[in-house]
């Protein structure tokens, strides 16, 4: 197991629980979605989160979405392509009402970084 001391210093803060804020909850009051993006195993976990939210918490099936680099094929192969992140967000129709959460074991997955940068460009949270 790797300690957060081995990770870039900004990831040490990421291991602390995140507090809710009006900026994070406001999109949901406007019918926004929670979108998880990831590559490899973290992406698989994000898809699993999205699939389980509707039956477990009663959310609308389209309210929580999981994107994994490479789509369904990536569930059996490894992908990590920055350009596909923008294409996937375009296909999803990402808006400023959506909240995007990047999931990356290394903190350096090109797909996740590109998705977060594109999210910021579109003024989503």
- Which residues, including other chains, have CB under 8 Å from residue 114's CB and lie 6 or more apart? 82, 83, 85, 86
Residue 79 is a catalytic residue: yes
- The order of strands in the sheet holding 64-68 is 64-68, 34-38, 99-103
Scanning 15-125, the segments in alpha helix (DSSP H) are 22-29, 40-57, 82-92, 110-121
- Given 44, 52, 83, 118, which residue is catalytic? 52
The answer to whether 39 and 80 are in contact (CB under 8 A) is yes
The answer to whether 22 and 96 are in contact (CB under 8 A) is no
Residue 83 is a catalytic residue: no
Active-site residue list = 52, 79
């Amino acid at each position: 197991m790797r300690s957060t001391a081995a990770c870039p210093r900004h990831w040490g803060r990421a291991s602390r629980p995140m507090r809710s804020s009006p900026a994070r909850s406001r999109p949901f009051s406007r019918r926004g979605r929670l979108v998880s993006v990831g590559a490899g195993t973290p992406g698989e976990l994000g898809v699993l989160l999205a699939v389980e939210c509707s039956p477990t918490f009663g959310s609308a099936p389209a309210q929580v979405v999981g994107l994994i680099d490479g789509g369904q094929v990536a569930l059996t192969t490894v992908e990590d392509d920055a350009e596909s992140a923008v294409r996937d967000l375009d296909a999803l129709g990402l808006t400023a009402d959506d909240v995007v959460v990047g999931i990356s074991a290394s903190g350096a997955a090109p797909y996740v970084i590109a998705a977060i940068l594109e999210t910021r460009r579109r003024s989503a949270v």
